[in-house]
Chains A and B, each alone.
Chain A
Amino acid sequence: MLMLSYLLATGITTGALYALVALGIVVVYKATEVVNLAHGELFMMGGFLAYTLHVMVKLPYVPSLLLAVAGSFALGILTDRVAFRPLMKEGLASVLLATIGISFLLKGIARVFWGGKGDYLAFPPLVSPEPIRIGNVMIMSQQLVVLLATLAVMLVFGVFFKTTRAGKFMQATASNPRAATLVGIHVSRVYMYTFGVGAAVAGASAVLMAPLTLLYPDIGFVLFIKGFAAAVLGGLTSVPGAIVGGLLVGIFEQLAAGFIGTTIQDVSAFIVIMFALIFLPTGILGVRGIRKI
């Protein structure tokens, strides 16, 4: 019984990692209909920026976090200008490949600057590294921080999309860019800020997650794949879907590892997704798109 509680608890805490990454992917997709394949590397750079500021330059935690988020935001805008804007009319394949190019570029840069400092860099947690007790399970306090951050981001975006003007602009742009332009929405600016915000979320996530996942140039890739899978599972256009997808992927991995065997842990998420997409072709909470003829 203790085993099950732990499997669920761990599923939720690792699921929160995937959910945060998925959130960034969904936010960008909602406005642009593009999956930014460099999202993992934007995440990674945010983490390294914070590392440089907080651990190397010894700035305090909160300013480092804010500056890292600002830096990620800037990188996101750069991605929009370089990869998305020039290529969005050429089709999905070109944009995807351009974002792949950016991901290699960022990863290579990170490896040159930080790669020689150690294989997996440690980042200090927000609060103490000691574990705390919740109910009958122990979890790391940083995992709680990540979980709370995930919920906070979800709430913020939920409110943002539903109530603020900017949020409605983004939704309008996604559903019909032409009409959006005609009513005066500055669509290219919406795209730009969307990429920036998506990257900022990624950067913030990295700083919060780094004490748990450690920092290294390749961290972006694996988390991106799982985050992307979670986002699709939840429905790429749904912000709560990203959370649901992330948590499900996390929980399923732990259950499979616990009850079937640790050897299947890594691939179990993909098996689930393969089958889920057969029954739910647009994800769990995804909107069933009307096929344009």
Chain B
Amino acid sequence: MKSSRFVLNLTVATLIGGLVAVGHAEDGATKDEIKIGAFGPLAGPVYMYGKLAMNGLEALFDKVNQEGGIYGRKLKLVREDDACKPEGGIAAVKKLIYDDKVFAINGGGCSNATLAAKPEIVKAGIPFVVNSAVADGISSPPSPNIFTTQLTATIESRAQLKYALEQKAKKIAIVAQHDAWGRSRYEPMMTALKEQLIKPVNDEEMTIDQNDGTVQALKLMQTGADAVLLIVYPKPAAVLIRDSLKLGYKPLWVGQTAIQDLPQLQEQVGIPGALEKFVSITTIPAHPDDPEMAEWRERIKKLFPNDALSVFNLMGIGSGMVVVEALKRAGPDLTREKFLKAMGTIKNFKTGMYPGPITCKPPVSNQCNQSVGWIRFEGGKPKSVGVTTLD
């Protein structure tokens, strides 16, 4: 009896103990390596913002490590899945901080997950550089340990509206997803419209899996909207544009960074000439298929043979370059405080991965990307039509 109880105790304790972590070196930086954590969706419908961005980051780390690392320390990426859900974000961040014990976090694939995880990050004081999530609440009001290299939802939504108005649109329509992602952009858009005393002629909803946009297109046609601000993912966008073309409806389509891969969007719509009046915000200066991206195409192919270089990889790479630069500036005696201070010295830093340079201005603003690039689709290729820099 006693020995069996002992065996059972041992088994259960081992099971529970298996959950208890064995601690690594303090702060995630040893003399050989620096552990950088990343969280985002690794599976599920929006895994591009997590898995693919992290793939890009890993390609960058691979390159840096090949070149000797940072003061002899190799960069190691620790990935955690957040399932693009708030509870997933909270769990992933807790794991990275208390269990994986990373030095800093460079990630945040989904706005809602990142927003929910923010209190935990602020409490722990760990440096966090956001690469994909756009929700305003993440970077404002600014926290001393949180920086972002991504545009914010407010910046993008306002830029969309501004563009439409500059094109002399008279009847503005909104088509948006009302999930957490869509809402983070929809609400600043509504605020911006109110400020300008504009009432949109349409306010339609689409879901991320929608297979048909005919109803939405009909409603837009009924009011005669001449500019449609799109707060949707590629599938609803493609479906809406396709069904609008079917009805002969051709407004100005104004997109944002979720639909910035124009060659892919054209393929998804399938009808030639679909993107004639389509314009979108972009976070990258060149398309993955362009010659200047050749090095990264090869690196991604080598590390991930089933993949092809995509916009999402580039998002990870661009942000990672800023982190790597700050790590270098922090010097060989690496601490979190020094890293954060180094982030504050990043001014006019050119990565080649964003339309403009990166400038961080703590404590006033830790939102380091103020350049909004615009692209159209011409001659079968994306063509830049300008970069606006906000101040």
Which stretch (B202-210, B276-284, B321-329) binds chain A?
B202-210
Q: Smallest Cβ distance from B302 to chain A, in angstroms?
A: 13
Q: Is A229 among interface residues, defined by CB-CB distance under 8 A?
A: no
- Interface of A (DSSP majority class): helix
Binary per-residue interface labels of chain A (1-17) against chain B in the complex, 1 for a CB within 8 Å, 0 otherwise: 01100110110011001
Q: Is A160 among interface residues, defined by CB-CB distance under 8 A?
A: no
Number of A residues with CB within 8 Å of any CB on chain B: 45
Q: Is B335 among interface residues, defined by CB-CB distance under 8 A?
A: no
How distant is the Cα of A216 from the Cα of B46 in the complex, in angstroms?
11
Bin the interface of chain B by size: 35 or more
A119 touches B215 (CB 8 A): no
Which stretch (B147-155, B241-249, B353-361) binds chain A?
B241-249
Residue among B55, B214, B310 with max Cβ neighbours from chain A (10 Å): B214
Binary per-residue interface labels of chain A (88-132) against chain B in the complex, 1 for a CB within 8 Å, 0 otherwise: 000000000000000000001001111111111010110001110
Q: Is A167 among interface residues, defined by CB-CB distance under 8 A?
A: no
Which stretch (A43-51, A197-205, A260-268) binds chain B?
A260-268
B204 touches A262 (CB 8 A): yes
Name the B residues within 8 Å of A131 (CB-CB): 245-246, 271
Q: Smallest Cβ distance from A202 to chain B, in angstroms?
A: 16
Q: A131-B245, A140-B246, A266-B207 are known contacts. Are A116 and B304 too (CB-CB below 8 A)?
A: yes
Binary per-residue interface labels of chain A (250-293) against chain B in the complex, 1 for a CB within 8 Å, 0 otherwise: 00001001100111011000000000000000000000000000
Which stretch (B66-74, B95-103, B107-115, B262-270) binds chain A?
B262-270
Q: A119-B264, A122-B267 are known contacts. Are A213 and B43 too (CB-CB below 8 A)?
A: no
Q: Smallest Cβ distance from B175 to chain A, in angstroms?
A: 9
How distant is the Cα of A120 from the Cα of B310 in the complex, in angstroms?
12
B307 touches A14 (CB 8 A): no
Name the A residues within 8 Å of B245 (CB-CB): 131
Q: Which of B3-45 contact A (CB under 8 A)?
A: 43-45
Q: A17-B211, A113-B306, A218-B45 are known contacts. Are A262 and B205 too (CB-CB below 8 A)?
A: yes
How distant is the Cα of A119 from the Cα of B270 in the complex, in angstroms?
15
B270 touches A122 (CB 8 A): yes
A262 touches B219 (CB 8 A): yes
A265 touches B268 (CB 8 A): no
Which residue from A119, A140, A263 sits with its C-beta under 8 Å from B242? A140
B270 touches A129 (CB 8 A): yes
How distant is the Cα of A268 from the Cα of B289 in the complex, in angstroms?
42
Name the B residues within 8 Å of A219 (CB-CB): 209
Name the B residues within 8 Å of A113 (CB-CB): 306
Name the A residues within 8 Å of B238 (CB-CB): 120, 214
B43 touches A116 (CB 8 A): no
10 contacts between A and B (CB under 8 A): A112-B306, A116-B304, A117-B307, A118-B310, A120-B234, A120-B268, A138-B246, A222-B209, A257-B215, A265-B207
Given contacts A115-B307, A265-B210, 6 further A-B contacts (CB under 8 A): A111-B43, A116-B310, A119-B261, A119-B310, A131-B245, A254-B214
Interface residues, chain A, CB within 8 Å of chain B? 2-3, 6-7, 9-10, 13-14, 17, 108, 111-120, 122, 124-125, 129-131, 138-140, 211-214, 216, 218-219, 222, 254, 257-258, 261-263, 265-266
